[in-house]
Amino acid sequence: MSAYLYPVKMAVITFPILALVLALPFLIIQYRRYGSFIFWRAFVVYSFVFYMLTAYFLIVLPLPSRAAVAALTTPKANVIPLTALREFLNTTVFSPLHPGTWLAAMKQPGFIQPVFNIVLTIPFGVYLRYYFKRPLKQILLLSFGLSLFFELTQLSGLYGYYPRPYRLFDVDDLICNSSGGLIGGLVAPTLMRAFPTRDEMDARSLAKGQHVGWLRRFVAFVVDNVVVVGIVSALLGLLLHLLGIDQHLVVLLSEAVIPLFFAHVLVPIFHQGATFGKSLVRIRLVKENGQAVGFWRLFLRAFLLYGVSLQAIRGFFLTFEEIFSKFHRTELNFALLALFGLVCAFLLVNFIWEAATRDNHYFYDVWAQTKQISTVKQAQAAND
């Protein structure tokens, strides 16, 4: 039993890291397709990822030492079908005419190993039928492909890490894994009755996607200010380095002002009010009356958000550090702390109010007379 528990334990440890890595791509895909993120879809997708991770670890773990593998003299492959069935009949106490031997036989390795290979891929077939809506023929083919991947992983000695295979490439495993996937596909319709169907999830997601929520905006914010601004800033920094320019003001403009101006003003001007991040999650900026937004509104909105709000937050923490860590307790520092504190308090109240009312129409949009709308409906209609 410990041979099975260890891979599961490693999957539990590894999964949170993998989930974090996949979080942003997953959210981008969900918002791009449906305009919303619903818990049940996330549960299904992430449980599928956890299952695949666990199945892979069950196949490859535990890992022996390279020296131990090099000393192996066991066969590398079994290409004779139904060898597992013959071993079951020959190595277990099973006797079809004596029912008392059946339970004892089920506890022996000759039974446990092939049944494990069948059970291993039953969830794979269930997921393929339930969420990915694959027909039985495709489920059988994909289950065979998954099993072949597992067996080739073993045959390759974990992609060449070991000098030879440390586990047996077995054609019976291909048969058992493929059968398990097919069984999962067959039983999936019965299980699906207890859960929302994929079509119901899609319909609910599209309906919810007409509203632009804060998480959707945050994903766009991360893409724009981490990826786009980061790339533009790095390119400008490289250009200045090649030109030998190191003036403080020029460097400041290249690191912050110009990249932000590019991402949040120039790009939306030529991209129907959408930054790169907003375009990924299917939202764009328009005026309050729904018309196309112009340069000055985009500039005012970006200035209020990045030139006032974020700088006020930054200034508050820097001034707080000056006063309470470096003990530079001057009247100017206290005045700046009060000023930045008032701005931060306003930002906090505005955020809490908009989050509570779910309006998500923050002050910089109100003052710039802009709003964010979802383009999922139009995109979906175009795809249909």
pLDDT tens by residue, 191-237: 888 888 888 888 888 888 888 888 899 999 999 999 999 999 989 88
Let me know whether 119 and 256 are in one domain: no
Pairing between β-strand 370-374 and β-strand 283-287 as defined by DSSP bridges: antiparallel
Amino acid at 175: I
% of the chain surpassing 90 pLDDT: 43
pLDDT tens by residue, 271-283: 999 999 999 999 9
Let me know whether 29 and 102 are in one domain: yes
Residue with tokens 């397709």: 33
> What kind and span of H or E run contains 237?
helix 229-243
What mean pLDDT do residues 104-108 have? Answer: 73
Q: Specify the pLDDT at position 1.
A: 54
Let me know whether 231 and 372 are in one domain: yes
Q: What's the structural domain count of the chain?
A: 2
Distance of CA 329 to the CA centre of its chain: 46
Structural domain ending residue among the three candidates 205, 232, 251:
205
Distance of CA 1 to the CA centre of its chain: 32
- Output 248 or 293, whichever has higher pLDDT: 293
Residue length of the chain = 384
> Checking phi first, is residue 165 left (phi over 0); if not, alpha (psi -120 to 50) or beta?
beta
Which of 344-372 are b and which e, b meaning 16 or more Cβ less than 10 Å from the residue's Cβ?
A: beebeebeeebeeeeebebbbbeebebbb
pLDDT tens by residue, 122-150: 999 999 999 999 999 999 999 999 999 99
Q: How far apart are CA 139 and CA 145, in angstroms?
A: 10
- Locate the DSSP E strands across 77-183: 77-78, 169-170
What's the Cα-to-Cα distance from 48 to each of 13, 43, 128, 278, rounded to whole Å? Answer: 16, 8, 10, 28
Range of the structural domain that residue 196 is part of:
2-205
Q: How far apart are CA 142 and CA 148, in angstroms?
A: 10
pTM here?
0.78
CB–CB of 380/207 below 8 Å?
no
Q: How far apart are CA 200 and CA 195, in angstroms?
A: 10
Let me know whether 186 and 269 are in one domain: no
pLDDT tens by residue, 288-314: 988 999 999 999 999 999 999 999 999
Average pLDDT of the chain to the nearest whole number: 87
What mean pLDDT do residues 352-371 have? Answer: 87
Let me know whether 178 and 270 are in one domain: no
Let me know whether 121 and 245 are in one domain: no
What mean pLDDT do residues 173-190 have? Answer: 93
> What kind and span of H or E run contains 286?
strand 283-287
Helix ranges, 34-60 (H): 39-60
Q: Specify the pLDDT at position 3.
A: 66
CA dihedral sign of residues 77, 79, 82, 87: negative
Structural domain ending residue among the three candidates 173, 205, 237:
205
Let me know whether 256 and 143 are in one domain: no
Contacts of 105 (CB under 8 A, 6+ apart): 88, 92, 93, 94, 111
pLDDT tens by residue, 68-105: 988 888 888 888 887 777 777 777 776 777 777 767 77
Let me know whether 236 and 105 are in one domain: no
Let me know whether 352 and 217 are in one domain: yes
DSSP state of 167: S
Structural domain ending residue among the three candidates 186, 205, 224:
205
Let me know whether 291 and 373 are in one domain: yes
Q: Specify the pLDDT at position 94.
A: 67
Q: Specify the pLDDT at position 151.
A: 92
- Output 214 or 336, whichever has higher pLDDT: 336
Let me know whether 190 and 226 are in one domain: no
Q: Specify the pLDDT at position 382.
A: 42
Per DSSP, the three-state class of 381 is helix
Which of 142-156 are b and which e, b meaning 16 or more Cβ less than 10 Å from the residue's Cβ?
A: bbbebbbebbebbbe
Count CA within 13 A, CB hemisphere, residue 183.
14
Let me know whether 18 and 60 are in one domain: yes
Per DSSP, the three-state class of 212 is coil
